[in-house]
Structure 1
Amino acid sequence: MRIALFLGFLAAAIFYAAWRGGGPERVMAAIAAAMVGLDQLLHAFVPPNFLSLDSGHLAIDLFGAAATIILALFAHRFWPMCVAVLHIAPLLAHISRTIDVNLHPAAYLTMQVATSWPVPAILIFATWRHRRRLARGVSEPSWQISSPSSSPTMARR
């Protein structure tokens, strides 16, 4: 039941961000959708196993961490940094499993998934804030400008 609840919450966040979000919100929606898709694909071929290092989820978590770190580096928003940290935390679960093979499977599972729960709420809030800024007429760039010669209008959404 909790998985269905989480997936429903995440689906709503992805839909809202894709529909009403700015560039960073839409990229995060795509990252989240890709991670869920990869997870479903993994489980179609490999049953969940938390007794040893879960290399399939490690690969998905590495993708999520790398993608959100890149998003945090380029987005002109604060929230991607928080989401990047939430995607880095499950990597600690995999490191812990590698170091301590006696780690209880329930602890390993919890360490992998617990930090996923705030992500939909952050994405919904970020999208709402983006819409609120637009409604107030605040024009804020979606992306960081990397060179001084770049035009500020190039970075706007």
Structure 2
Amino acid sequence: MRIALFLALLAIAVGYAAWKGGGPERVMAAIAVAMVGSDQILHIFVPMNFTTVDTGHLAIDLFGAGSTVALAMFAHRFWPMCIAVFHLVPLLAHMSRTFDMALHPAAYLTMQVATSWPVPAILILATWRHQHRLARGVSEPSWLNSLPRSIRTTAKP
């Protein structure tokens, strides 16, 4: 039941971001779809096992962490940094499982999935804020490299 609830919340967030979001919100929606889609495909071929290092989910989490860190580095938004941190925590779960095989499987599972829950809410809020800025007539660039040259360059001493 909780998986269906999470997927429903994520579907709403992804749909709203794809429909009304700016560039960073749409990229995050694509990342989320890729991660969930990869997870569903993984479970077709590999049963869930939280007693050893889960290499399938490790690969998905590496993609999620890498892509959200890149998004945080290039987006002209604050919220991608929060989501990047949430995607780094599962990597700690995999490292913990690697170094401490006595880690309880429930703890390993919780470390992998618990930080996914805030992502839909943050994406919905980010998309709403983007729409709110547009409604106020505030023109804010989506990406850092789209800032005016005078802001991007630093003054030389």
Could you say which TM-score interval applies, normalised by the shorter chain? over 0.9
Q: Contact 2:141 / 2:147 at 8 angstroms: preserved in 1?
A: no
Q: Deviation string for 1:37-62 (max 9, x for gaps)?
A: 00001001000000100000000000
Question: What is the identity, as a one-letter code, of the residue corresponding to 1:12?
Answer: I
Q: Percent identity?
A: 76
Distance 1:130 1:7 in 2: 23
Question: What is the identity, as a one-letter code, of the residue corresponding to 1:11?
Answer: A
Match of 1:7 in 2: 7
Deviation at 1:114, TM superposition (A): 0.3
Match of 1:89 in 2: 89
TM-score (norm 2): 0.93
Q: Contact 2:50 / 2:105 at 8 angstroms: preserved in 1?
A: yes
Runs of 5+ unmatched residues, structure 2: 153-157
- 1:92-111 matches, within 5 Å, as 92-111=92-111
Deviation at 1:150, TM superposition (A): 8.6
TM-score (norm 1): 0.93
CA-atom RMSD in angstroms? 1.7
Distance 1:20 1:43 in 2: 31
1:63 is aligned to 2:73: no
Deviation at 1:146, TM superposition (A): 7.2
Distance 1:89 1:17 in 2: 24
Runs of 5+ unmatched residues, structure 1: 153-157
